[in-house]
Each structure stands twice: as C-alpha cells, then as structure tokens.
Amino acid sequence: MSHSPIRKDKTCLNCRHVVEQKFCPNCGQENTDSRKTFHHLFIHFFEDLTHYENAFWKTIKNLLFKPSTLTKEYLSGKRLSYLAPVRLYIFISFITFLLIAMFPSHVTENLTKSEKEITSNFEKANTKEHKKWNEKSYLQSKTIDKSYFKLDSMKEIDSIQKYGKPKEKFTDFEYWIYEKAVHVTENNTKAEIIEKFIESFIHNIPKILFIIMPFFAFFLWIFHNKKKWYYFDHGIFTLHYFSFLLLIFLILFIVNKTIGAISPIAFVADIINFVGIIWMCYYFYPAHHRFYGESRFVSFVKSVILFFINSFFILLLLIFYVLYIFLNLH
C-alpha cells in the first residue's frame, strides 16, 4: 500500500468525484499526491513487484496442479490473490511465442542447412568440366518440381476455361484458388514454401486460439444448465484451460531445447514429454468434474463428447487456416 501523503484537495484527479477518505468511492483511485519522490517511487515499484510475484507463482501452481481451482476462486470473488484470467493467458501466450520465435524449429534449421550446402557446393564447383552441370543442378534445386504439385500452367488453364468442355472448366472461386496456388509455386521453392508456412503459422497461433476459445466456451454452454451457468462462467473456465495448455506446451518446449539437447540425459526429456502429454490429455476431465460438480460418469461422458466436438472443429479451422496461409505466401 502506498505511503504517499493524502491530498488536501478532496476532488479526485481522475473522475472529479468528492473523496471523503483515502480512496475515491466512484473510481477507486487513491487520492494521494501525484508528485512522488524517488523513495516513494522505489517503494511503490517494490510493493507492486512483490505482489505480482506472489500472485503469479500462486496462480501458476494452482493452474498446473489443481484443475478448476482458479476458475472457482475467481468466480467466488477471490481475485486479488491471483492473476486475472485474461492477463494470465496473454502473459503465458507472449512468453511462449517469444521463445518459439527465438528458437527455430528443426525443420527450419534443416532447410537453412540444406540451402547453405547447395550454395557452398555450387560455389566450389568452378571447373570448366563441371561448371555447366552444377549450374543446371543448382537451378533445379531452386525450382519447384511441378510434377510434385501436379499443377498445370495458367496458360493451359486459361485455354481450358476458354475452349474446354463445361465439365472441365473451373468456377470463379476455383479459378481464383488455382491462380493463387500457381503463383505461390512459381515464385517459391519447396523449401521456401515450408519455411514461410512454418514461420507464418507460429506467428499466428495466438490468433487461432483466440478464435477457438469463444467456440470452446459455446460448446460448454450448450452441454450445461443455462440457468445455473452463464456463458461468462464457461468463458473463464476456457481461459484457464487454454492457459494451462499453453503453459504445458511452454514447459515441454523449454525441456526439449535444454535437457533434450544434451545427449546423455536426453531420455529425461522424453520422460517429461510423456508425462506432460498424458497430463495435458487427462487434465480436462478433473477440471470439468470439479468445476461443474456433476457425477464422475456424467462428467466423463461430457468430457469425451466435448473433446471430439472441439477436436473436429479445431481440425476444420486449421485446415482452412493452412489453406489461407498457403494462398497468401509471397
């Protein structure tokens, strides 16, 4: 709590409401002197940091090992002792994708390594006898194998659209999709397509999760008593559950990049991965059972049904998103 002197002026600086005591009854702002010494600034920073740290570790502990506890505490009104659900999700999401961006995936590393090897081999092959062959080989390595994608040129497609039979012609939407696909494959190698796709996918995962969460909460709303549970309640449960999934993913990612990179103890990372994935898959059931208070059998049945419904919906969304990323590569 701040120890700054209380202002003599009883008018709140934030909302202009009359403040009889230390805190404004209208907006909650502390009616203290806004000009602070370095001492007050340091003390205020230390108090906020200590409170945040205590709340943070308490929140993480409950999130990992006590399914639904955070949701029940939050909805019961005990909110100052924990991080707010939205802030928690944003914080974990930020840290997770920051670390992912800092450490390239094995696919990207291999692609980069292959490109460097091709370039190095091409530069070394400078003899007259092999120069022409290596030049042709290098150009082939940088060109898309059209047979792999099985795409006709736009000239062929335009010819079919103009002179072909009605059954052979594309609709306007199909033609647009095909034109985009041909443009991507003509201007990018296979390696470039994969690398750009991975990079775009990683950077946009938060957007995908934000899109999925309202639907996840909606499915929970459908399967539970509408009078007892509001959509808001399901939303808080969803935020905590997705925060847990992201946190487990973050922990496993760190384990793989640290312990997994050391050969003699790499098996430890495999064990942690196995335990983490099992806990990730199982977590929803006890969280659902404890939060909604239904019998174990009913909760198990609903958990299984919700798992398959959400898995199908997520898969469908990812398919559309993959197509979107592919068609928007440059």
Q: Quick: pLDDT tens for 97-115.
A: 888 778 765 545 555 555 5
Residue 112 CB contacts under 8 Å (≥ 6 apart), including other chains: 104, 195
Question: Does the pLDDT of residue 218 top 50, yes or no?
Answer: yes
Predicted confidence at residue 276, as pLDDT, reads 93
Question: Does the pLDDT of residue 68 top 70, yes or no?
Answer: yes
Distances (CA, A) of 105 to 32, 108, 111, 197: 51, 5, 10, 12
Q: Quick: pLDDT tens for 241-285.
A: 999 999 998 899 899 888 888 888 888 999 999 999 999 989 999
Predicted confidence at residue 290, as pLDDT, reads 95
Residue listed under structure tokens 């049904």: 305
Question: Does the pLDDT of residue 70 top 80, yes or no?
Answer: yes
**Per-residue confidence at 26, pLDDT binned at 50, 70, 90?**
confident
Distance of CA 272 to the CA centre of its chain: 21
> What does the mean pLDDT of the chain come to?
78
Predicted confidence at residue 288, as pLDDT, reads 95
Domain ranges of the chain: 1-35, 38-75, 85-106+197-327, 122-190
Q: How many CB atoms lie within 10 A of CB 28?
A: 10
Average pLDDT over residues 87-97: 87
Predicted confidence at residue 16, as pLDDT, reads 82
Predicted confidence at residue 239, as pLDDT, reads 94
Are 217 and 322 spatial neighbours (Cβ–Cβ below 8 Å)? no
Average pLDDT over residues 293-310: 92
**Per-residue confidence at 235, pLDDT binned at 50, 70, 90?**
very high
Question: Does the pLDDT of residue 137 top 60, yes or no?
Answer: no
Q: What angle do CA 135, 186, 160 make, to 5 degrees?
A: 130
28-36 contacts at long range (C-beta below 8 A, 24 or more positions apart)? 30/2, 30/4, 31/6, 31/7, 32/2, 32/4, 32/5, 32/6, 32/7, 33/4, 33/5, 33/6, 33/7, 36/4
Question: Does the pLDDT of residue 298 top 90, yes or no?
Answer: yes
Exposure string over 248-261, b if 16+ CB within 10 A, otherwise e: bbbebeebbeebbe
Least confident residue range of 95-104, 140-149, 234-243: 140-149
Predicted confidence at residue 4, as pLDDT, reads 60
Least confident residue range of 96-105, 128-137, 307-316: 128-137
User: Which has more confidence, 295 or 20?
Assistant: 295
Residue 27 has which token pair? 């907006």
Give the rounded percent of residues in the chain with a pLDDT score beyond 70: 74
Exposure string over 281-314, b if 16+ CB within 10 A, otherwise e: eebbbebbbbbbebeeeebeebbeebeeebeeeb
Residues forming beta bridges with residue 6, ordered by sequence position: 32
Average pLDDT over residues 180-193: 75
* Start-to-end CA span in the chain (Å): 54
Residue 84 has which token pair? 């707010």
**Per-residue confidence at 173, pLDDT binned at 50, 70, 90?**
confident
User: Which has more confidence, 250 or 6?
Assistant: 250
Are 290 and 140 spatial neighbours (Cβ–Cβ below 8 Å)? no
Least confident residue range of 37-41, 81-85, 295-299: 37-41
